[in-house]
Amino acid sequence: MSPRRIGRRFATLVAGVATVLSLGLANPAPAAAEGVNAVVCYNTSQAGPYAGIADQAAGIWNAYTNNVDMAKCGSNLMIYYTYGGGSYAVRYSLGNGYVVIDVYQAQQYAPLRIMTHEIGHILGLPDNYNGQCHLLMSGGSAGTGCTNPYPYTTEAAQVDRNFGGFGAQGSQVFQDSWPAPVTVG
Ligand SMILES: [Zn+2]
């Protein structure tokens, strides 16, 4: 038998197993799912014009992480907005706290990037003001032209580690603002 035929046969076998598995998991028990993932309930009742942005940001975090689910099921995370003073996050403990979006800042910087960044703090991520746009936690240091709202692989993996092991880092109280642009000289 040629290697190519073996490969094809193996692919067929894998496909068959996958079908059986997916059939078997068609109706997983809700309790089992909750046991795997932490749920961060967020509340947009005070988010004003940023409620939809918060929903988008929650969807991004859900898509990029495995160990945490964001859902509108309570008030672990409140979303607020204000005029001036900067956007920021206050984390009481991992997955608990609030985010404040500065309307003026959100007119300068991409609001979705600000939102996913600040929620990143609630999920246990620190700032990394290195100016690199592919990182979410570089925040405002990447400039107003950076609109990337997605966590980088390493950032998403850190959130999964935070929620996978309920690590000490994430449970520390945290407060910080959206970083100002880097000044040279
Ligand atoms: Zn920050």
Instruction: With cut-offs at 50, 70 and 90, classify the pLDDT of residue 37.
Output: confident
118 catalytically annotated: yes
Percent with pLDDT over 90 in the chain? 63
- For the chain, state the CA radius of gyration: 20
Q: How far is the CA of 13 from the centre of ligand 1 (A)?
A: 48
Q: Please indicate, yes or no, whether residues 42 and 12 belong to a single structural domain of this protein.
A: no
Domain of 102 in residue numbering reads as 38-177
Q: Within a 10 A sphere around the Cβ of 48, how many other Cβ atoms?
A: 13
Degrees (nearest 5) of the Cα angle 181, 169, 106?
A: 30
Q: Which of 52-66, 124-138, 153-167 has the lowest average pLDDT?
A: 153-167
- Residue 103, pLDDT > 90, answer yes
Please give all residues whose CB falls under 5 A of ion ligand 1, grouped by chain where several chains appear.
127, 139, 176
Q: Please indicate, yes or no, whether residues 27 and 44 belong to a single structural domain of this protein.
A: no
Domain count, the chain: 2
Q: Please indicate, yes or no, whether residues 83 and 142 belong to a single structural domain of this protein.
A: yes
Annotated catalytic residue, options 118, 137, 162, 170: 118
Q: Please indicate, yes or no, whether residues 32 and 117 belong to a single structural domain of this protein.
A: no
Q: How far is the CA of 117 from the centre of ligand 1 (A)?
A: 6
Q: Across residues 68-87, what is the average pLDDT?
A: 94
Q: How far is the CA of 19 from the centre of ligand 1 (A)?
A: 43
